[in-house]
């Protein structure tokens, strides 16, 4: 499941979040390999990162439209979106989207 917030706005100097919607998405979650993990900032490497291939686009934070990043729920665990790119397999001619998602470490 993906929870998406619509564009927010500022009213009288205060931020007001946009309406939320829930979207069902099919996807495959896989761990990052060592090379992909090096792309993450050093201070953030304590988080648990995964690749998430989905059939629908996932959105990241957008400072121009004030959209928040999507929150993905898999088996009761919530993940935040780090990055998204359009991905096409070499054997399959179907459009998929590759997202890097992360979960904060439990304390």
DSSP code at position 62? B
E strand map for the chain? 2-5, 9-11, 14-16, 20-23, 27-31, 48-54, 71-74, 77-88, 95-103
Whether 84 shows a pLDDT value over 70: the answer reads yes
- Domain residue limits at 61: 2-103
13-55 pLDDT, tens digit each:
888 878 888 989 888 899 988 787 777 666 666 678 899 998 8
3-state DSSP assignment of residue 25: coil
Return d(Cα 47, Cα 106) in angstroms, integer.
9
Residue 80 has what pLDDT? Answer: 87
User: Is there a contact between 88 and 59 (Cβ–Cβ < 8 Å)?
Assistant: no
Q: What is the mean pLDDT of the chain?
A: 81
Residue 30 has what pLDDT? Answer: 92
28-37, 50-59, 77-86, 88-97: which has the minimum mean pLDDT?
88-97
Return d(Cα 8, Cα 67) in angstroms, integer.
6
What percent of the chain has a predicted confidence (pLDDT) above 90?
A: 7
Whether 94 shows a pLDDT value over 80: the answer reads no
**pTM here?**
0.73
Structural domain count of the chain: 1
Residue 105 has what pLDDT? Answer: 63
């Amino acid at each position: 499941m993906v929870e998406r917030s619509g564009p927010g706005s500022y009213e009288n100097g205060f931020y007001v979040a946009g309406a939320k919607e829930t979207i069902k998405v099919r996807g495959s979650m896989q761990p990052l390999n060592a090379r992909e993990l090096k792309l993450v900032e050093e201070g953030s490497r304590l988080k648990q990162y995964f690749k998430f291939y989905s059939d629908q686009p996932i959105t990241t934070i957008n400072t121009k439209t004030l959209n928040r990043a999507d929150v993905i729920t898999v088996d009761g665990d919530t993940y935040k979106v780090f990055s998204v790119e359009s991905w096409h397999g070499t054997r399959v001619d179907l459009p998929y989207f590759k997202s890097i998602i992360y979960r904060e470490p439990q304390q």
